[in-house]
Every structure is written in structure tokens, then in C-alpha cells.
Structure 1
Amino acid sequence: MGASFVAHVLFLLCFFATTFSFFLKAESNVSCSEKEKQALLNFKKGLSDPSKKYSWSDQEDCSGWWGVYNDNKTGLVTGLYINEV
């Protein structure tokens, strides 16, 4: 194998890694719906949260909230991690 072949392979690996990471970032920027955000805020009112771990706010997108899992393509909530102490 020549140095030229290795350089081409490295270039292709970098190209595909960059392209793949771009698409992952593009997919992960999906926001949750306003309807789901309001449902989660109403649900939170019934939780006991003395440690203030669930600092969910109406001012933030619920896809970034602690304990909330969203689908990267649709933004829909797919799961919750609720741990009462």
C-alpha cells in the first residue's frame, strides 16, 4: 500500500465521519410539541421534587429537560425517568 492510498482512505473516513455527525446533529434539533410540554408541566405539578431535580420550565424546550426522552426525528416524548426520593 502506498502513501497515496492511505491518504485517500483517511480522507474518505474523515469525510464520512463529518457527514454522519452533521446528519445526527440535524436530527437531534427537533423540538417537542407545545401540547406535550404543557402535559409534562401539568404532570410535574403532582410530583414531589424536594431536590428540584426536575427544573422543567415553560421557557425551555422539553426535549432538553432532565428525565425526558424524545425521539430524535419526531420530537415526540418516548419516555420519562421519574425517581421519587
Structure 2
Amino acid sequence: MSWQRAEDLAWVQSAHSGVVQVATFPDTQVYSLDGGAAVIWKLLDEPMGRDELVSRITEDVLLIPDDISEEVDRCLSQLAGLGLVEQR
């Protein structure tokens, strides 16, 4: 299974701060993603499995996968709960 951004969303990233603003439709909820959530959002430009996602994050910031796996799982769960990402 892979994770991907949900459909019917609009988003923009601040060039200055790196914060990602995501709006849902039709209910028009706006969420601000920063830190790890913004990194995950950007990586999900294409559908990606959880293990690949963890691997890509650890490559970029030189961390050990076991050190961030739970954090990535928690973030994906929260983003899914908000309707911003989905698992297929």
C-alpha cells in the first residue's frame, strides 16, 4: 500500500518559511503544515509506501530510520485523520 495526497485539495508553500497551507473542499478547512509534516507533504508529490517515505526522509536529514519511524506513522495518521492524505 502507498500513501498519497487526498484529492480535492488546494495547497501552497511559503518560499520564505517552508510552511505548507492546505485547504480542503468543499468544507474549506485550512491547515498549516510545518516541520516534519511539511516534509512528508512535499515527498508525497507522488504516491509512496511508508518504508520508502521513511527512507527518503532519513536520507535527506541523515537520521536512522528506527529513530523516526514512529513519528512518521503518527504524522501520517494525523494527516489522514484530517483528510489530507490517504492510503491506497
Q: TM-score, normalised by structure 1?
A: 0.24
Q: TM-score, normalised by structure 2?
A: 0.24
Greater per-residue strand proportion: 2
